[in-house]
Structure 1
Amino acid sequence: MKAVDWLKPGLQIKRWIILGLIGVLLLAYSLSYYFVGMTVNVGLQIIGGLLGVLLIYIALYFGLRSLLKDIHKIGGNLDKGKINKMIYDKKVLAKGPKIVVIGGGTGLSILLRGLKLFTSNITAIVTVADDGGGSGKLREDLGMLPPGDIRNCIIALAEMEPTMEKLLQYRFQEGTLKGQSFGNLFIASMNGISGNFEEAIKKMSEVLAVTGKVYPVTLENITLYGVLNSGTVVKGESNIPKKSIEENSPIERVFIKPKVAEGLKEAIEAIGNADVVVLGPGSLYTSILPNLLVKNIEEAIAQSFAKKVYISNMMTQPGETDGYSVIGHLEAIMKHCPKIEVDFVIANNGEIVENAYEKYQQEGASLVKITQEDRGKLKEYEISLIEDNLVEIKRDYVRHDAVKLSKIIVDIGLEETKGSSPSKKIATLKHLDRKFQD
């Protein structure tokens, strides 16, 4: 292990250990006359002894406080399993690659649940173009940014009991709050007592002990517009796929207003410092692209030295990506954001069992399959294709296997991490594999 690795932030007690050792040396110096007969100036002897005792006291006090603070975070319970996990999180996950994930919707929150098992250096940059459901109602009534996707990301990255998660995801069944989630109201309350929406998210993240960071892509109230092949311009994220189906006209392009909306400063910095920037999975036109259209987000991604990864959706979405192949999804991003050069595309090559697939077919969705044309075009674009069976089915819903997908992303991140020796990368990956085989 390199000295620089040892000095990286972990349990935050290394500094106190070093300070304590300095104190011990000073104390030993002041007592050297009694042990080895070394002649020492009496004044220096007294000062060194007092200073040594003081440094030892400070090191013990702050070192123990740092440890107890972390124990308090896990509920003050000295359960061995929880303490081991806390140490693992601090020591191992803190050294994981810096991964920025950009998107929204269910796909993003599922991926985050997988990534937090491998690294704590996660930043989720989330769309705020949502105008439907409970989020849209709060946006309209309170003039705040839509909290729904951000709520899901915070919950995905939080360390909490199952009951607390159920509470935050609970939707009221009756009255004026019908359809509204408690988590959205929690964020709305935080927003009310905070300086701005960003501060509200930070406070909620602190309360729920979130791994990594969650940022809205912008603090400005943006609206998404879609232009269909028929020429019709549709206002509102939730209306675009509906109008596309109604007119039987595919989406040609999307844009946001105000066009000059600026990306959050912290989001820009996170992209600049990342080892990997991930686009998706999520709705192409209504979750991923609204983020990339925000001023200086595309520029930040283009200028970042991070590896850029696009995760292709598992299924097409009616009114949004009907008939799209893997390359169809990617070329839509390239068309809207020509400055972004993707390095890797991750795509599923697994099949879906009949029962689950039938429900999607009835809704007009189909499996996004990798074709020879996809492979050929990606080769032309000099983009590496990583394909695997990434299918996971829960309650007849088709999702990406979050753990398997996260392993692939972390592998890319470890290759990108500067200063990591090949042996260290291999050892880390073997450790991760053992962790999920146990």
Structure 2
Amino acid sequence: MPFNTPKRILKYFRQDSRAVTPYRVNQWFKWLSPGLSIKRWLLISASGVCFVGLGLAIWIKLTPIFYAIQLVEGFLNKVTTILPSYISGPLVLLLGFLLILWGQSRTVGSITEVFRTDGDEELIDLLLNYRRLNRGPKIVVVGGGTGLSTLLRGLKTYSANITAVVTVADDGGSSGRLRREIGVLPPGDIRSCLAALASEEKLLTELFQYRFKAGDGLVGHSFGNLFLTAMSDITGDLEQAIAASSKVLAVRGQVLPATLSDMRLWAELADGRRIEGESNITHAKGSIIRLGCTPTNPPALPKALQAIEEADFIVIGPGSLYTSIIPNLLVPEIAAAIAKRCQKGNPPIPCIYVCNIMTQPGETQGYSVADHIRAIDRACGRHLFSAVLVQKQSPSETSLIRYAQENSHPVFLDREEVAQLKRRIILANVMDEDEQGLVRHNPQRLAGVLFRWYSRASKMRG
């Protein structure tokens, strides 16, 4: 071994300590950040210690404390004769501060080990993030399907006060089978939203989304759908089942069905056909001229109405126009509550519609942005939102070719028509494309654009 190896090791540890020390000091100072509600309780605790000592002294008539003070005084006199007070004083202060820092860091470290989820994040960072999210605006998102869960994944990084109002008109796939065989409300869209808002470990979320690939009667079912169905039976209704599942997944915010009624869609097509059932409407491959539901006026979930009443910001979409978004608005109380907050509020709160990037065969083939807006206005009989978010750039040639084969094209922005509908246009690049040319909204970019628009709209209102 070379003679300079110990020097190298010492140099390494010095460099490492210099790198770690600023980080630790920065972490300690974070505890002084405003809004944590930590400093006040530490001060109250210290005051409590002083009062306990004072009370003890009064109770025992100061006699033992008097002799203890004399003993300490004698000890300090001897110390100061050996070391002058201007040396011994700072040394004792330094020792006290070091003991406090050591004790506090070990205490915080022990607590962090309990609450740490990924093995990296410090407790102070968890607390700061928790406070930031809980101070976020109250957001209500209305929709369903893949589009809504995509948006929720982005929004949960900005606020924990999110309410997703989800359609219960689905009658296809695993949800449809459970609805027909057991008679429960379809849990599919609710399951996806719960998984999107979950802050629990990734494995638990993947379990909730897992679909069985084998087993008599299990193939195609997702674990989350079966879990929600079982919880509905145990708790008595879907609302309680969602609340219990939210605790399991540590959901940020809440997911609420628009109604607890057994809601079923029907559509009248341009060729005169009347199609029953959500899954059959898309497969009919016709032009929808009217959409309705049975029962005609399903009652809204009271908690959904309360969330809308208390909202700071309402987002409609993205998602399938006729089978994910409009079904929520066919619940008259939901549409009326949104209109009251966004159009008649004093002042009205920001409300925006996130338009789809591509048209959907069987629902919106040939639709422009204005056509999407007209369909929503026609379904609920009023204007609900003041702005529409539209993808700015067109997808790549690969994506266009892929979607054209399915008779799907980018939603055309007809500016003049949208202006006549008295809607403001928000253009932004919020699109993702995968290697196969599949187009989706990017959760983080979409949420970022919505929050920037909300901030500007709030400042203009204020």
Number of corresponding residues: 376
Q: Deviation digits for residues 213-238 of structure 1, max 9, x if unmatched?
A: 11111111110111111222111000
User: Counterpart in 2 of 1:86?
Assistant: 126
Q: 2:149 aligned with 1:149, yes or no?
A: no
Q: Deviation digits for residues 92-125 of structure 1, max 9, x if unmatched?
A: 1111221111000101101111111111111111
State the secondary structure of the residue aligned to 1:189. helix
Task: Give the 3 Å change call, closer, same or farther, for CA 420–233 of structure 1 in structure 2.
Answer: closer
CA contact (8 A) 1:103 1:291 kept: yes
Q: Aligned letter for 2:281?
A: I
Q: CA RMSD in A?
A: 3.1
CA contact (8 A) 1:301 1:340 kept: no
Task: Give the 3 Å change call, closer, same or farther, for CA 253–208 of structure 1 in structure 2.
Answer: same
- Please give the alpha-carbon distance, in whole angstroms, between the structure 2 residues aligned to 1:398 and 1:70: 40
Q: Deviation digits for residues 343-387 of structure 1, max 9, x if unmatched?
A: 1110002121222332211111111132xxx22233333322110
Task: Give the 3 Å change call, closer, same or farther, for CA 294–69 of structure 1 in structure 2.
Answer: farther
Unmatched tracts of structure 2, length 5 or more: 1-32, 63-106, 342-347
Work out which of the residue numbers 125, 132, 139 in structure 1 matches 2:179. 139
User: Counterpart in 2 of 1:324?
Assistant: 367
Q: Give the fraction of aligned pairs with identical amino acids, expressed as a percent.
A: 41
Task: Give the 3 Å change call, closer, same or farther, for CA 418–186 of structure 1 in structure 2.
Answer: farther
Q: Aligned letter for 2:269?
A: L
- Please give the alpha-carbon distance, in whole angstroms, between the structure 1 residues aligned to 2:163 and 2:264: 23
Q: Which range moved further: 329-338 or 169-178? A: 169-178
CA-CA distance at 1:409 after TM superposition = 1.4
CA contact (8 A) 2:213 2:219 kept: yes
Q: 2:251 aligned with 1:188, yes or no?
A: no
Q: 2:316 aligned with 1:279, yes or no?
A: yes
Q: Aligned letter for 1:87?
A: L
User: Counterpart in 1 of 2:409?
Assistant: 366
Q: Which range moved further: 376-385 or 359-368? A: 376-385
Q: 2:306 aligned with 1:265, yes or no?
A: no
CA-CA distance at 1:14 after TM superposition = 7.5
Q: Deviation digits for residues 126-165 of structure 1, max 9, x if unmatched?
A: 1000000000001111111101111110101102333333
- Please give the alpha-carbon distance, in whole angstroms, between the structure 2 residues aligned to 1:204 and 1:332: 34
CA-CA distance at 1:25 after TM superposition = 7.5
Q: 2:136 aligned with 1:96, yes or no?
A: yes
CA contact (8 A) 1:103 1:127 kept: yes
CA-CA distance at 1:70 after TM superposition = 9.1
State the secondary structure of the residue aligned to 1:176. coil
CA contact (8 A) 1:282 1:313 kept: yes
Task: Give the 3 Å change call, closer, same or farther, for CA 173–382 of structure 1 in structure 2.
Answer: same
User: Counterpart in 2 of 1:342?
Assistant: 385
CA contact (8 A) 1:275 1:413 kept: no
Q: Aligned letter for 1:100?
A: V
Q: 2:441 aligned with 1:400, yes or no?
A: yes
Q: Aligned letter for 1:199?
A: Q
Work out which of the residue numbers 81, 85, 108 in structure 1 matches 2:148. 108
Work out which of the residue numbers 274, 287, 290 in structure 2 matches 1:250. 287
TM-score (norm 1): 0.78
Q: Aligned letter for 2:280?
A: N
- Please give the alpha-carbon distance, in whole angstroms, between the structure 1 residues aligned to 2:388 and 2:217: 44
CA-CA distance at 1:89 after TM superposition = 2.8
Equivalent residue runs for 1:427-438 within 5 Å: none
TM-score (norm 2): 0.74
- Please give the alpha-carbon distance, in whole angstroms, between the structure 1 residues aligned to 2:333 and 2:57: 63
Q: 2:268 aligned with 1:227, yes or no?
A: yes
State the secondary structure of the residue aligned to 2:328. helix
- Please give the alpha-carbon distance, in whole angstroms, between the structure 1 residues aligned to 2:408 and 2:322: 16
Structure of larger gyration radius? 2
CA contact (8 A) 2:335 2:384 kept: no
Q: 2:355 aligned with 1:312, yes or no?
A: yes
Task: Give the 3 Å change call, closer, same or farther, for CA 414–176 of structure 1 in structure 2.
Answer: same
State the secondary structure of the residue aligned to 2:332. coil
